[in-house]
Amino acid sequence: MAATLAKLPLIEQLPSSLRVTRVDSDELHALLSRIQVETLGQDFAPRAAMKRLFGLSPSGPVAHLLGWVGNRPVASATLMCFGEPASIWGVATIPEARGHGIGRAMTLEACRLAHSRGHRTVSLYATPMGLPLYAGLGFRECGSLALYTAP
């Protein structure tokens, strides 16, 4: 799916209970990975390689975001800026925090970051659960991807 950033509701406020931080330490990176395992059943495999290659610098081409409710990490998103379009990966919300706009907010936060870095468009791969969320934001389908895992 892809969207033109100028057409998305980038001024929309975060839910009042949600706080979003940048992942800038090994400890926060481990929390991000744990959310991926809990929500998707696996860690996003290239995440460790990206960390080794690009570090966790706020100005680097890969930005990981954690969503918090109180002191508990409940959501994740990753923005990759390697040219146009920017791409969003790993948008996930733990099951007990779903239904409160957190996935939407994490997606928009990644989009705001892409916009602040000068991008005009953003793409992502949607799971069946995420399709309605992204379509509701203004993303449009532009292809499909079949994922395979080793037996």
Tens digits of pLDDT across the chain (151 residues): 999 999 999 999 989 999 999 998 889 988 988 898 888 776 555 666 666 666 677 677 889 999 999 999 999 999 999 889 999 988 999 999 999 999 999 999 999 999 999 999 999 988 888 999 999 999 999 877 776 666 6
How far, CA to CA in Å, does 87 sit from each of 23, 38, 94, 105, 115? 17, 22, 22, 16, 12
Whose structure tokens read 């100005």?
59
**Nearest C-alpha neighbor of 130 from the set 91, 95, 101, 100:** 91
**Predicted pLDDT at 132:** 94
pTM of the model: 0.89
Which fold, 2-137? Aminopeptidase (3.40.630)
Q: Cα separation of 131 and 141, whole Å? A: 9
Question: What are the residue boundaries of the structural domains of the chain, listed by start?
Answer: 2-137
Tokens of 119: 């991008």
